């Protein structure tokens, strides 16, 4: 189960040149600054942009192989595409927008019911309306439902939240997270927002100037010292977690992560539910001994991997190995580094001041 | 009161305008689509040729059509070899001339409508499994509906108002090529001002109603 994509696209002022093998399951974020070629890559995958030379297979199906003069046109590729602007057909009602792709999908290839999709995106009450009478967030939900209605083998999303304000973004993100957990469709998700990537992606490709600089599992890319993500103010590690129990007295939820347990604010998730936690580098402090007499209850033993400079000359960025491949970031002052003698290989206790449960 | 001859001229005019508009919608649509979407070097020259009747005196267009369709012209030779005779001074000849003369009034609104749609809705259609023809008829045409209405109204009205070209290649044959504008000219020549008034006044009312319909439809079209 994998997606192999090799594309070269030459424009007068820009060249896209990528050679990627991506997992054929889960959400893969194509992440990078604007102008890095994320959208061009997505359009090449869709066949909307004709690469100078290209090769693309999706879970065993060859969609494009220019060396063999093989090019499946967009309308014969079993994909769904969600554009940055919803781009609904203004002459059709919401219901007929949804039907447009559905009725062009052969019955044998339909695997998702329209009712399920309408319920998943909460658009039941909108079906008879015209796109002009929908809010931005509603339009984008209809656009996502319309793409899903064709039972795509691959869902391509080009910054589906970028044109929305913060409130609308918050309105759609939960639906995208449900999509991720309830439908078994691989997704390529273009974004320049570290927050969206942290919430939605399982796998990240980091693009810059038309080239893929790095690709790997989410937390590996978020914590890689040679990528700009670790130097953002909101630099964070994202760890897979599972709900272990609820503490009704103190309104807390206990989650287990690969290397310990964390208490977070009470969540409605049932015990055993998979989730993920995000821990910002600025919320992690280090101690050489576990401190019993501290307000910070979430303490994880760790080994220092490396210490490096940050954009603020007073701050150092420490990468910690929690064991089982889980990596955490801590942002502390250089004075603390010197004072505590923090160096690679040292055993420390990471005191986590704040943990966010992500879905 | 308008005479039978006047009514025959009105009928002929409406017939000419209807046939011309239908033909123009059929051949003008692909031309407008191509002009709206192509990046070819030919876009400029083709657009200019289509627009020529806007700036040429009708007599110039009529003169060259007369020469081309006459017994010794290239089109005339072709129609004769096909057993169709020659086109000048016949109703089909008028139709051919009207199609060329009114073409920019149909092609340009359609081209603008197609350009306004942009590439995005067609890309969306492709990602929803619609091939090019399917997307054209189910997405581009409905979205360009205001353009089609404008094109049809302008093409029809402009053909009704034609005079110079008709006179050059159609002459003045009752029931065959004598349209309203020519009939008015005849009445004035013969000092029959009352008769001329009926037809001329009718034309003014007709033109006003057409433009009123156009502006009203276009306003509601935008509000959809």
Looking at residue A83, the DSSP 8-state letter turns out to be: -
- What's the pLDDT band for B224 if we cut at 50, 70, 90? very low
Tell me: pLDDT of B220 over 70: no
Q: Which residue of A has its CA nearest to B145?
A: A91
Q: Looking at CA atoms only, how far is residue A75 from chain B in angstroms?
A: 4
For chain A, how many structural domains are there in total? 2
Q: Of A63, A28, A59, which is closest to residue A47 (Cα–Cα)?
A: A63
Within 8 A of A91 by CB-CB distance, chain B residues are: 142-143, 145, 224
Q: Of A11, A37, A5, which is closest to residue A207 (Cα–Cα)?
A: A37
Coil, helix or strand at residue B120: helix
Range of the domain at B121: 4-223
Q: How many Cβ contacts (< 8 angstroms) between chains A and B? A: 60
Q: Are strands A298-309 and A236-247 parallel, antiparallel or unpaired?
A: unpaired
Q: Do B143 and A83 touch (CB under 8 A)?
A: no
Range of the domain at A249: 236-357
Whether residues A36 and A77 fall in one domain? yes
Whether residues A87 and A20 fall in one domain? yes
- State whether residue B39 sits within 8 Å of chain A by CB: no
CA A347 to CA A300: how far, in whole Å? 11
Here the CATH number for the domain that contains residue A133 is 3.40.50.300
Whether residues A39 and A180 fall in one domain? yes
* A75 → closest Cβ in B121, B131, B145: B131
Domain assignment present for A54: yes
Whether residues A276 and A211 fall in one domain? no
CA A169 to CA A167: how far, in whole Å? 5
Task: Specify whether the CB–CB gap between A8 and A51 falls below 8 A.
Answer: yes
Q: Which of B 84-143 lie inside 8 A of A, CB atoms?
A: 120-121, 123-131, 134-135, 138-139, 142-143
Q: Are strands A187-191 and A27-31 parallel, antiparallel or unpaired?
A: parallel
Complex prediction ipTM: 0.85
The residue among A193, A222, A251 that closes a domain is: A222
CA A53 to CA A50: how far, in whole Å? 8
Here the CATH number for the domain that contains residue B124 is 1.10.3720.10
Within 8 A of A155 by CB-CB distance, chain B residues are: none
Whether residues A104 and A196 fall in one domain? yes
Within 8 A of A80 by CB-CB distance, chain B residues are: 127
Coil, helix or strand at residue A348: strand
Predicted confidence (pLDDT) per residue in A132-183, tens digit:
999 888 999 999 999 999 999 999 999 988 877 777 777 788 888 777 777 7
The larger pLDDT score, comparing residue A127 to residue B216, is at A127
* A75 → closest Cβ in B121, B130, B142: B130
Q: Do B123 and A74 touch (CB under 8 A)?
A: yes
* A74 → closest Cβ in B126, B143, B145: B126
Here the CATH number for the domain that contains residue A293 is 2.40.50.100
DSSP E strand stretches across A258-297: 260-265, 274-280, 284-287
Domain assignment present for A8: yes
Domain assignment present for A228: no
Task: Specify whether the CB–CB gap between B12 and B178 falls below 8 A.
Answer: yes
Within 8 A of B148 by CB-CB distance, chain A residues are: none
CA A5 to CA A19: how far, in whole Å? 6
- The residue count for chain B: 224
Distances (CA, A) of A4 to A22, A51, A112, A225: 6, 15, 25, 27
Q: Is A151 left (phi over 0), alpha (psi -120 to 50) or beta?
A: left
What dihedral do alpha carbons A222, A227, A232, A238 form, nearest 10°? 0
Helix (H) or strand (E) holding A198: helix A194-200
Tell me: pLDDT of A186 over 60: yes
For chain B, how many structural domains are there in total? 1
Token match 């086109």: residue? B87
Which of A53-67, A144-158, A280-294 is the least confident region? A280-294
The predicted structure's pLDDT at residue B152: 93
- State whether residue B149 sits within 8 Å of chain A by CB: no
Predicted confidence (pLDDT) per residue in B36-79, tens digit:
999 999 999 999 999 999 999 988 999 999 999 999 989 999 99
Hey, of A80, A101, A139, A151, which one would you mutate to test binding to chain B, going by the most B CBs within 10 A of its CB?
A: A101
Provide the CA A298 distance to its chain's centre, in angstroms.
26
Task: Specify whether the CB–CB gap between B124 and B177 falls below 8 A.
Answer: no
Strand order through the sheet with A203-208? A79-82, A154-158, A187-191, A27-31, A203-208, A211-217
Whether residues A196 and A105 fall in one domain? yes
* A80 → closest Cβ in B127, B131, B142: B127
Q: Which two tokens stand for residue B151?
A: 């094109």
Predicted confidence (pLDDT) per residue in A102-139, tens digit:
999 999 888 888 998 898 888 999 999 999 999 888 99
Q: Which of A 178-207 lie inside 8 A of B, CB atoms?
A: none
Task: Specify whether the CB–CB gap between A142 and A123 falls below 8 A.
Answer: yes
Phi, psi of A197 (to 5 degrees): -60, -45
Task: Specify whether the CB–CB gap between B100 and B27 falls below 8 A.
Answer: no
Whether residues A258 and A201 fall in one domain? no
Rg of chain B (C-alpha set): 20
Predicted confidence (pLDDT) per residue in A205-252, tens digit:
999 999 999 999 999 899 988 888 888 888 899 998 899 989 989 999
Tell me: pLDDT of B159 over 60: yes
CA A26 to CA B201: how far, in whole Å? 73
Within 8 A of A100 by CB-CB distance, chain B residues are: 125, 128, 130, 138
Q: What is the DSSP string of A2-58?
A: EEEEEEEEEETTEEEEEEEEEESSSEEEEE-STTSSHHHHHHHHHTSS--SEEEEEE
Q: Which two tokens stand for residue A59?
A: 């879970």
Domain assignment present for A227: no
The residue among A187, A222, A257 that closes a domain is: A222
The predicted structure's pLDDT at residue A97: 95
Rg of chain A (C-alpha set): 22
The predicted structure's pLDDT at residue A170: 78
The residue among A222, A246, A277 that closes a domain is: A222
- A91-102 residues labelled b (16+ CB within 10 A) or e (exposed): bbbbbebbbbbb
Predicted confidence (pLDDT) per residue in B92-120, tens digit:
999 999 999 999 999 999 999 999 999 99
CA B166 to CA B142: how far, in whole Å? 35
The predicted structure's pLDDT at residue B36: 94
Predicted confidence (pLDDT) per residue in A290-343, tens digit:
877 788 888 899 999 999 888 889 999 999 999 888 899 999 999 999 999 898
Tell me: pLDDT of A43 over 90: yes
Hey, of B129, B133, B144, which one would you mutate to test binding to chain A, going by the most A CBs within 10 A of its CB?
A: B129
Looking at residue B137, the DSSP 8-state letter turns out to be: I
Q: What is the DSSP string of A202-236?
A: SEEEEEETTEEEEEEEHHHHHT-TTSGGGGSTT-E
Helix, strand, coil percentages for chain A (3-state, nearest 5): 25, 40, 35
Tell me: pLDDT of A359 over 70: no
CA B184 to CA B40: how far, in whole Å? 45
Coil, helix or strand at residue B46: helix
Q: Which residue of B has its CA nearest to A145?
A: B128
The predicted structure's pLDDT at residue B223: 42
Coil, helix or strand at residue A157: strand
Coil, helix or strand at residue B178: coil
Within 8 A of A150 by CB-CB distance, chain B residues are: 128-129
Q: Which residue of B has its CA nearest to A156?
A: B127
Domain assignment present for A229: no
The predicted structure's pLDDT at residue A136: 87
Whether residues A136 and A278 fall in one domain? no
Domain assignment present for A18: yes
Q: Of A84, A83, A82, A9, which is closest to residue A40 (Cα–Cα)?
A: A9
CA A206 to CA A212: how far, in whole Å? 6
- B75-98 residues labelled b (16+ CB within 10 A) or e (exposed): bbeebeeeeeebbbbbbebbbbbb
Q: Looking at CA atoms only, how far is residue A130 from chain B in angstroms?
A: 9
CA A258 to CA A247: how far, in whole Å? 21
Which residues are B103's β-sheet partners?
Answer: none
* B128 → closest Cβ in A90, A91, A150: A150
Domain assignment present for A266: yes
Q: Looking at CA atoms only, how far is residue B124 from chain A in angstroms?
A: 7
Q: Do B127 and A48 touch (CB under 8 A)?
A: yes
Domain assignment present for A230: no
The predicted structure's pLDDT at residue B221: 53
């Amino acid at each position: 189960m994998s997606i192999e994509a090799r594309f070269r696209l030459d424009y007068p002022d820009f060249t896209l040149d990528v050679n990627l093998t991506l997992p054929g399951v889960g959400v893969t974020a194509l992440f990078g600054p604007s102008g890095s070629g994320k959208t061009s890559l997505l359009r090449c995958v869709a066949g909307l942009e004709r690469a100078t030379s290209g090769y693309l297979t999706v879970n065993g199906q060859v969609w494009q192989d220019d060396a063999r003069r093989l090019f499946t046109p967009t309308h014969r590729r079993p994909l769904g595409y969600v554009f940055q602007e919803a781009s609904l057909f203004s002459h059709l009602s919401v219901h007929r927008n949804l039907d447009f792709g559905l009725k062009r999908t052969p019955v044998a290839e339909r695997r998702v019911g329209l009712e399920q999709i309408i319920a998943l995106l909460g658009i039941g009450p909108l079906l008879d309306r015209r796109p002009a009478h929908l809010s931005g967030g509603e339009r984008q939900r209809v656009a996502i439902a319309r793409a899903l209605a064709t039972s795509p083998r691959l869902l391509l999303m080009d910054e589906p939240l970028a044109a929305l304000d913060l409130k609308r973004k918050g309105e759609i993100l939960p639906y995208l997270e449900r999509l991720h957990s309830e439908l078994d469709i691989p997704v390529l998700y273009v974004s320049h927002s570290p927050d969206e990537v942290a919430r939605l992606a399982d796998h990240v490709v980091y693009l810059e100037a038309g080239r893929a600089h790095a690709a790997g599992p989410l937390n590996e890319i978020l914590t890689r010292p040679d990528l700009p993500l670790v130097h953002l103010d909101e630099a964070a590690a994202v760890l897979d977690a599972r709900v272990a129990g609820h503490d009704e007295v103190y309104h807390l939820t206990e989650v287990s992560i690969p290397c310990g347990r964390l208490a977070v604010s009470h969540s409605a998730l049932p015990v055993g539910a998979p989730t993920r936690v995000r821990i910002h580098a600025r919320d992690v402090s280090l101690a050489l001994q576990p401190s019993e007499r501290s307000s910070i209850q979430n303490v994880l033993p760790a080994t220092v991997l490396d210490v490096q400079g940050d954009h603020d000359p007073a701050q150092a960025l420490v990468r910690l190995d929690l064991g089982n491949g889980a990596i955490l970031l801590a942002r502390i002052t250089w004075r603390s580094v010197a004072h505590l003698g923090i160096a690679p290989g040292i055993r420390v206790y990471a005191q986590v001041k704040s943990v966010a449960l992500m879905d | 009161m308008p005479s039978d001859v006047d009514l025959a001229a009105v009928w002929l005019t409406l017939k000419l305008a209807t046939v011309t508009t239908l033909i123009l919608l059929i051949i003008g649509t692909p031309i407008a689509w191509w002009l709206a979407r192509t990046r070819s070097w030919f876009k400029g020259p083709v657009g200019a040729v289509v627009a020529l009747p806007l700036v040429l005196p009708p007599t110039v267009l009529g003169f060259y059509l007369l020469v081309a369709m006459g017994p010794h012209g290239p089109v005339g030779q072709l129609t004769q070899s096909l057993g169709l005779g020659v086109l000048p001074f016949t109703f089909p000849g008028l139709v051919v001339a009207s199609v060329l003369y009114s073409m920019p009034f149909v092609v340009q609104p359609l081209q603008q409508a197609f350009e306004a749609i942009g590439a995005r809705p067609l890309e969306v259609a492709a990602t929803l499994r619609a091939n090019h023809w399917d997307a054209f008829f189910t997405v581009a045409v409905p979205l360009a509906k205001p353009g089609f209405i404008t094109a049809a109204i302008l093409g029809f009205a402009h053909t009704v108002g034609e005079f110079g070209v008709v006179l050059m290649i159609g002459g003045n044959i009752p029931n065959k090529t004598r349209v309203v504008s020519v009939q008015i000219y005849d009445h004035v020549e013969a000092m029959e001002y009352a008769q001329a008034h009926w037809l001329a006044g009718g034309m003014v009312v007709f033109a006003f109603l057409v433009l009123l319909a156009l502006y009203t439809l276009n306003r509601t079209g935008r509000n959809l």
